[in-house]
Structures are given as C-alpha cells and as structure tokens.
Amino acid sequence: MSAARDLMIVAMDVAPGRHVAQGDLSLALAGAELVDLLRAEAVTLDGDRVVPGATPSLDDPLLERAAAGLVRDEPYEPVEDWLWRRGRGLAQEYLTVLEAEGLLVRPRGSWLPFRSARPVPAESPARQRAAHRWAADEPVLTTLAAVAGVRGEVPEDVPPPEGAAQTVCAAVADAVAELEAVRRRRAIENAAFSNVWRGA
C-alpha cells in the first residue's frame, strides 16, 4: 500500500469533523507519491532536484501516472515544482480512483437525496493497513497528515522522516504555508474590494 493511498484513506476516515482544504491535501498527496517513488527507487533526490531513474512495475495506476509525469531532462525538477504541478487537483483524482476501486463508498439512506454524502472508507485490507500505520504513528504518514490538517501537531515522541523523505515533507510544509498565505492575501483583497463596493 502506498503512503499516498494511506493518506487519502486516513483523511476520509479519521477527520470527518475537520475541514481539510483540498489544496493542502493535494499537496500532501503529491509529497506522499514522491516518497513512494523514492521507496520504489523510481527517483532519487539530488539536493532538491527530483532525478528520475528506471521505472519499476509500480502496480498502482496513480503512481504510474506520477512516474510518467516526471521531468526527465536536466537540470530536472525541484521538489517544490513537482508538488505544485502534480498536486493540482490530486485529492479529487484520488477520490475518483479509490471510489472506482470500491475502497471509498458513499453512505446510503441519506435524508438529503440531492446532496452527495461524504465518502467513507469501505471495510477492506487497504483500510486496515492504513489504520495500522496511523495507529503506529508512521513518521511520513503522521507528518504529512499534520501538514494537510488531517490531524493536529505531530506527537513529540514520533521521530521525523529520514533522509530524502524528510526533504520532501519539509517541502510540502513550505508549499502548504505558501498556499495559506495566498488564501489570506486573497481574503484581504476581497474584503477591501467589498468595502469599496459598499462605499465603506
């Protein structure tokens, strides 16, 4: 099971009461995919550059798409650029694929027939594996979940991700912070525009 799939399942499973911004989750999923590609030895990092290698059989259509989209020309792509490019709409892509695979389902019997219910993880080995990694405070999953807003702070006793995974997680945190700054700037601009429109 991939870190990205685990993150998506956990986000739908343990954070029903939290507002998880799609943009934040998408960036975290892109980071999780990059960690998966590192583990599969499909890429390495040279500083902050994503260096593609020979693509092994990944047995995951989402990861295969990620690998197919790697920049294969020098000087290669910085991790941050990868996160923004690959992360665009990625949470929705995972939602669609996991629903199609039956790993996420929409509850039936809603009293709001015209409103689509929030998907929830189906009982499956995938959900059990994700729950096990979550309960074990696996460093990459725990860190990316915290960055995406799926959970609060990372517990103090959880060690940080190691090596290249740490570089990726730090880049995700920077990208999410940048996205939040953009949101705040837009909110201020919109508020200012509204005040002008009202003659305030």
The pLDDT of residue 162 is above 90:
yes
The pLDDT of residue 39 is above 90:
yes
The pLDDT of residue 110 is above 60:
no
pLDDT score for 195? 59
Domain limits of the chain?
3-106+116-198
Q: Which pTM was predicted? A: 0.89
Mean pLDDT on 5-33? 89
Mean pLDDT on 55-68? 90
Closest CA relative to residue 93, chosen from 115, 65, 69 = 65
For the chain, the average pLDDT equals: 88
